[in-house]
Amino acid sequence: MDSITLKCPVTIKAKVTEELKKNLAAEIQDGIKKADMELQQIEFHAKRLLAEQAKQDAQGLVVLRQQIDAEKQKRLDFKNHMLERLKETAQLEIGSEITQGTMERLVTVTVGDDLHKIMGTEILLEDGKIIAFRS
């Protein structure tokens, strides 16, 4: 066998620009709004569920309240995480690079190839456009 084809990760990085900061902030704010809406829905449904549960079985109220509180806490934790990310986004320096994710590529390797170089491949974006390939 002279060669083999592998799936290798490719790191996607973005150069920080004002446009990127604005887009990231907008995405984060959308997530915060979604969490707020979900919290309102939970509260709305909780009142009805608790009233129904009280009519059927008062002992089940404690368990139901714990489930509702756990769901609310998940949303609050998410919202707090997003608020922290919003602060971090505001502090990003223009021109710095941030990792946005990974993709995979197929690469054919042969004996003697430098696997570390192949595995360290990156794509650099600026406002969504590819500006460099790095290996």
- Model confidence over 69-114: pLDDT tens digits? 999 999 999 999 999 999 999 999 999 999 999 999 999 999 988 8
Per-residue pLDDT at 10 exceeds 80: yes
Query: Do 111 and 101 belong together in one domain?
Result: yes
Query: Do 48 and 101 belong together in one domain?
Result: no
Which is nearest to 87 in space by CA: 37, 28, 47? 28
Q: Which domain holds residue 83?
A: 18-92
Secondary structure string (H, E, C) spanning 118-130: HHCCEEEEECCEE
Tell me, what's the pLDDT at 13?
96
Tell me, what's the pLDDT at 116?
87
Query: Do 9 and 33 belong together in one domain?
Result: no
State the Cα angle at 51 between 49 and 57, rounded to 5°.
Answer: 90
Query: Do 106 and 59 belong together in one domain?
Result: no
Query: Do 53 and 78 belong together in one domain?
Result: yes
Query: Do 106 and 51 belong together in one domain?
Result: no
**Structure confidence at residue 56 as a pLDDT band (50, 70, 90):** confident
- Number of independent structural domains in the chain: 2
- Model confidence over 16-49: pLDDT tens digits? 999 999 999 999 999 999 999 999 999 988 888 8
Residue corresponding to tokens 């320096």: 93
- pTM of the full structure: 0.73
Cα–Cα distance for residue pair 43/36, rounded to 1 Å: 11
Query: Do 88 and 45 belong together in one domain?
Result: yes
